[in-house]
Structure 1
Amino acid sequence: MDISQILLLAFVQGLTEFLPISSSAHLVLAPLLFGYALQDLAFDVAVHLGTLVAVILYFRREIAAMVVAMSDSLATRQLTSPEARLGWMIVVATLPVVILGLPFKMLLEMLRADERMIALIIASTTIGFGLLLWWADARGRRVRDEYQVGWRDALFIGLLQAVAIIPGTSRSGITIMAGLLLGLTRRAAARFSFLLAIPTILMAGALETLHLVGSSEPVDWFALALGATLSFIVAYLTIHYFLQFVERVGMLPFVIYRVLLGGLILVLLYL
């Protein structure tokens, strides 16, 4: 990988991981649009690690409070604090992707070999789930915060997160959509989505790392380090400004972008 490709893909991952526009789709589309070969698995793991570190650092106080409260709840067997409740709801919401993630991933690997098919899937999910996000934003009551998420809510959000393994769906987009449908405010839906990203990215990264350990392919450590560092910086800034932006403006700008992007892909496919 040359420097321009590393910078492009790291920037794309850092920007799109937490915006409701699908990082996986952009990591597939960016090399195709700019004429690069599809990046290898090691680089994908590196830039995802950068975004994981970003979200952990951004929510470090909340995470520390949840860990302490969850430990106390195990000792007392009571959910007496909002922090403990939120922490356990993150665990509940993670369960569906643990169960469904591998079958979905195997299906995706089969589809990934056909560039035309994967592009059609990305176009369809980008438009379809973008419109669903707009509907949820318009319909949502926006009266609850993330500390009021119950176990049924968490399971619903987690089930939809499992669908986001399909490129173009957007993990953050579909979980924010679920939160909005459940009556969360835009900021609360985004915060729950971002906290839920931590165990999800961690598990996905661990599985891919195990796969890499058994591989004999050479590793470009400079590319991995540069990609992880840039994706970390961009992701941290994206989280900060998105949380400020989304409560005032809503999801419509991202919906418009998704519809235009999906439409452009379809036009390029059938020209």
Structure 2
Amino acid sequence: MDFLQIVVLALVQGLTEFLPISSSAHLLLVPVLVGWPDQGLAFDVALHVGTLLAVLGYFRHELVAMARDWIASLLGRGFTTDAKLAWAVLLGTIPVGLAGLLLKDVAATYFRSPVVLAVGMIAFGLLLGWVDWRHRGERTEREMRPRDVVLIAFAQVLALIPGTSRSGVTLTAGMYAGLTRQAAARFSFLLSIPVIVLAGALEARELAMQPDAIDWRALIWGAGLSAVAAYLCINVFVRMLGRMGLMPFVVYRVILGVVLLAIYA
């Protein structure tokens, strides 16, 4: 990989992983549109490591409190709001983890066409816009009810469809359940931690079975740039939600989906 490809793909991953516009769609599209060769599994793992480091860094204080109170809850010392949030993240990951294992081959084979990607961008973009327009919640992520966690957890399974966007569909479900935009975004980011770990572990397992030589320079640069871009993206996104909402992302998704349909349909 040349340095330009490393920089562009790392920035694309970092900037789109936590925005409701589908990072996987952009990582699929950029090499195709530019004519670059496939970046390879090792580089994908590095990009996931970068975004994981970003979200761990951003939520470092909350995660310490959640882990401490979660352990306390296991020892029978009660359920604080941090313990409940930790349980919500863990339980909310189970459906997508099982679906990913069961449907991995199906998603990789039948769902990766540009037309499916375009339809996903448009359909779930419009759904996000409708929920953002109609459902203005008032609760925080620490005030979620069990049924809210279940709704968001099963909505996250839809992210296996290209173009859906994991962050987009969990944001949609969170706002529909009655969370504020910022609360739905924060819970979506927290949910990304175990999902990225699971996805990265599966990719690393496949990588270990491949005898190809590893370009460590590309991996280090990719992970570092992706981490910086993702950290900045999380900061800006959470701040801008209260002022401008999600409609700019809805418009972007629909326009990109229409362009893709015009090219590939």
Q: Say yes or no: TM over 0.5.
A: yes
How far apart, CA to CA, are the structure 2 residues paired with 1:211 and 1:17? 22
Scaled by the length of structure 2, what TM-score is found?
A: 0.97
Following TM superposition, the consecutive aligned residue runs of length 4 or more in structure 1 with deviations greater than 6 angstroms are none
**Greater mean alpha carbon deviation, residues 94-103 or residues 47-56:** 94-103
Matched, 1:164 2:159: yes
SS at match of 1:76: coil
Shift of 1:38: 2.1
Which residue of the partner structure matches residue 138 of structure 1? 133
Structure 1 residue identity aligned to 2:165: S
The match for 1:189 is: 184
Q: Which residue of 2 aligns with 1:125?
A: 120
Report whether the alignment pairs 1:178 with 2:177: no
In the other structure, the counterpart of 1:25 is: 25
Counterpart for residue 106 of structure 1: 105
Give the counterpart letter for 2:237 in structure 1. F
Instruction: Calculate the aligned-residue CA RMSD, in Å.
Output: 1.1
Using the TM superposition, give the Cα deviation of residue 103 of structure 1 relative to its aligned residue in structure 2, in angstroms: 2.4
Q: Which residue of 2 aligns with 1:15?
A: 15
CA distance in 2, matches of 1:75, 1:40: 44
1:95 aligned to 2:90? Answer: no
What is aligned with 2:54? Answer: 54
The structural deviation recorded for 1:77 is 5.7
Counterpart of 2:239?
244
The alpha-carbon deviation at position 111 of structure 1 amounts to 2.9
1:104–1:166 contact (8 Å) kept in structure 2: no
Find 2:216's aligned residue among 221, 225, 239: 221
Q: Between Structure 1 and Structure 2, how many residues are aligned?
A: 265
User: Could you say which residue in structure 2 is the equivalent of 1:37?
Assistant: 37
> Is 1:205 aligned to residue 200 of structure 2?
yes
Q: Helix, strand or coil: the match of 1:13?
A: helix
Residue by residue, what CA displacement relative to the aligned partner does 1:89-117 show, whole Å, maximum 9, x if unpaired?
111101101211122221122137xxxx6
* Separation in 2, partners of 1:95, 1:108: 18
Question: 1:78 Cα shift?
Answer: 3.0
Structure 1 runs not aligned, ≥5 long:
none
Equivalent position SS for 1:167: coil
Listed as ranges, the gaps of 5+ residues in structure 2 are none
Aligned partners of 1:92 and 1:151 also within 8 Å? no
Deviation at 1:149, TM superposition (A): 1.4
